[in-house]
Structure 1
Amino acid sequence: MKNIFVVFLSWIFTISPFTVQAQNLENAVDELILRDFNDKNGPGGVFMIAHHGTPVYQKAFGKANLERGDDLSVDDVFQLGSMTKQFTAVAILMLEQQSKLSVGDPVSKYIPDYPNGNKITIHHLLTHTSGIKDFTKMKSLADIAQKDMTPKMMVDFFKNEPVDFVPGEKFDYNNSGYVLLGYLIELVSGERYEEYIRKHIFDKVGMTRSYYASDRKVIKGRAYGYHKKESGYVNKTVISFSVPFSSGSLMSTLSDMLKWQNALNKNLLLDTAETTKAFSRYKLNNGEEFNYGYGWHIRDINKVPTREHGGSIFGFKTMAVYIPGEDIYVIGLSNCDCNSPTKVTGDIAALAVKFLGSVKG
């Protein structure tokens, strides 16, 4: 009996620091999230921390549907907004891996009549250094926002606009570049962008609850999007997802996004050389380095290197941070564009490094 008691005490003291650590992390993360996502009866958000590919924290805050009063679930489907750009960039690199294109190719190789297309490369589009006009800044955007647009129609919408600078001169975040990349994916692969992403990424990775966005399709577990006005919450503005297209029209869940991150880590989609291209910093024409790779911001939190990207589309805001040195992935998805998860996700990532960085899994 005495020996059993000794073993029991040994077991308690072996696991308790980690148990306490997990509880402390959970409490600290809850406190951070509730600082901004504190309306139990309004739209909210879902958050995850994963370490070594496995969730160590997942929680939902707020409502998925205000009219029905349904609570958000960690399994709900959210619009990703510009986190879509990760998938578009990887699709381009997959095509390069298959020798179907090169990131050094000029746009004119695929679209001969594109203005200045002989000087704008796929690399410029991927890194937001092309100088072409961002269609989201065009006053005429309202004229097409609810129209069904083909990729060619979208490209034609902005291609003749005056450029903002010569290719490679500046980094200036640009949605038009990623719409153009989606069109190139279609031209090179012979498949519609939506089909290419589903077949070659979602299906291959096992992302069974990820979609090209639709307001008409019945999607089980959909989180509904909202704006906040002086009078209260209202349903999000309706747009045609053919407009943001490959710059912002995908939907997913926390668990599917973790599958995506794990697939990138395991080189399931890209080989080492192409993966390195995605996560490298690049330089402008003058030699100045900027903090963007192909579809990801390459930054740091407290001098710890990170790969980050967020998204914003009517009714939704999103943010994800990956810390490669610790294999920590933090993601937040919000179903009101009044609640940005950007800062809180970064703060959670910093906490996760503090609590999990020394734990070897």
Structure 2
Amino acid sequence: MQTQIDQLMSRYDGPGPGASLLIVRDGNPVVRRGYGFSNLEQRTAAAPDTNYRLASVSKQFTAAAILLLAEERKLHLDDSLRKWFPSLPDVAASMTIRQVLSHRSGLIDYEDVIPPELTRQLRDADVLAILQTQNRTYFPPGTGYRYSNSGYALLALIVGKASGKDFATFLEQRIFAPLGMTNTVAYEDGISTVKRRAFGYSEEQRSWTRTDQSQTSAVLGDGGIYSSIDDLAKWDAALYDDRLLNATSRALAFTPISDTDDPTVRYGMGWRITQEAIGGRTLWHSGETVGFRNVIIRYPEQRFTIVLLTNRNEPEPYQTARAIANLVLK
């Protein structure tokens, strides 16, 4: 089976940017290994403790932070966005935290309306400033689905307001440290560091170019967390019991709320949900940003999880991870 898995992972092996692969069954790692390189310039091999920028895989942590604060009644899921951000335009009055979590708010994509004079790297607060100028929506809140990085940037700011701590500190103190995720960080340049960091690359004219950061890479709530397969194994284990979120919160996260653009996929709160022919129900999320493509797929009925983190612009890892899961579960 390892030979077959290596064949499926062959594009990541060799002298280029690589990947780290984790397969967990019944709480035990079945496969835990790296392929290729996490840093081409220094020829650093990818390993189980290599930390990759998770991109939108980060959204499950943002959602968990909101659900933790809801458990503590420091916020309510049906709060209006205007309660937390009075500076938002009138259209935000009927948008709720619950809708934002499941991409049903109708918020405008901040990436499409960045002012041309704003050329520096953006932070979550900049997303709020941009949205303050947008008194329009894609649809009336609660009536449709549109995947929204804007919403998750606002959720990170709400975590800060509701907890009295900045988003990165809250994650560290309430999620990462309690779970023993000692190398996971919501990365802020000049404030925090990433240990054993993978750098992102893109293939251009048959050679690899470092493409590690974009203008939006410093926005934390929608994609700014770095982690490893070793730390994500601890995260996965915590989602089976009450050590982090209670049963009610986990049910909220894992219950389908929104139909999506793909009729086979629904969305809960920070998780996509599908039904597979092999393995049954899956809870998953992909993440894509300049130089990184990642996926985590959980098969809770099988107590089986696969995590594939990569520091390259292609290939897309979801189908590779599914093929590996089907191989192991068949």
- TM value normalised by structure 2: 0.91
Residue equivalent to 1:73: 47
Distance of 2:218 and 2:138 partners within structure 1: 21
Partner Cα separation in structure 2 for residue 251 and residue 223 of structure 1: 9
For residues 107 and 235 of structure 1, what CA distance do their matches in structure 2 show?
38
Q: Which runs of 5+ in 1 are unaligned?
A: 1-23, 355-361
1:154-193 map, 5 Å: 154-161=127-134, 162-193=136-167
Measured at CA, do residues 62 and 215 of structure 1 come closer, stay the same or move farther in structure 2, by a change above 3 Å? farther
Inter-partner Cα distance in structure 2 for 1:86 and 1:236: 25
The C-alpha deviation readout for 1:295-321, integer Å capped at 9, x for no partner, is 000112216100000101221111010
Task: Please tell me whether residue 235 in structure 1 is matched to residue 210 in structure 2.
Answer: yes
For 2:101 and 2:228, locate their aligned partners in 1 and report how far apart those are by CA, in whole Å.
25
Name the amino acid aligned to 2:55.
G
Could you list the runs of 4 or more consecutive aligned residues of structure 1 that deviate by over 6 angstroms after TM superposition? none
Secondary structure at 1:265 match in 2: coil
* Amino acid of the structure 2 residue aligned with 1:184: I
The answer to whether the 8 Å contact 2:87/2:132 transfers is no
Matched, 1:349 2:305: no
Which residue in the other structure is 2:125 paired with? 152
Matching residue of 1:136:
111
Kept in 1: contact 2:168–2:186 (CA 8 A): yes
After superposition, the Cα gap between the structure-2 partners of 1:321 and 1:97, relative to the gap in structure 1 and judged at 3 Å, is same
Percent identical residues? 28
5 Å-filtered alignment, 1:194-213, equals 194-213=168-187
Match of 1:298 in 2: 273
For residue 237 of structure 1, report the CA deviation from its aligned partner.
4.7
Q: Using the alignment, how far apart are the partners of 1:290 and 1:131 within structure 2? A: 19
Deviations 1:217-243 (A, max 9, x none): 553311121111115111115346674
Aligned position for 1:45: 19
Q: 1:344 to 1:143 in 2, by over 3 A?
A: farther
Whether the 8 Å contact between 1:154 and 1:243 is mirrored in structure 2 is no
Corresponding residue SS for 2:285: strand
Q: Distance in 2 between matches of 1:144 and 1:273?
A: 42
* Secondary structure of the corresponding residue to residue 109 of structure 1: helix
Amino acid in the other structure paired with 2:302: E
Equivalent position amino acid for 1:157 in 2: I
1:27 correspondence with 2:14: no
List per-residue Cα deviations over 1:109-150 (Å, max 9, x = no partner): 222232222210111100011111112333x3675463353x
1:61 aligns with 2:38: no
Partner residue, 1:334: 310
Residue by residue, what CA displacement relative to the aligned partner does 1:238-274 show, whole Å, maximum 9, x if unpaired? 3466742210000000010010111111221111111
Runs of at least 5 residues in structure 2 that lack an aligned partner in the other structure: none
Aligned pair 1:91/2:65, yes or no? yes
Alpha-carbon offset, residue 29 of structure 1: 1.5
Q: Is 1:249 equivalent to 2:242 in the alignment?
A: no
C-alpha RMSD of matched pairs (Å)? 2.1
Letter in 2 for 1:220: K
SS for the counterpart of 1:58 is strand
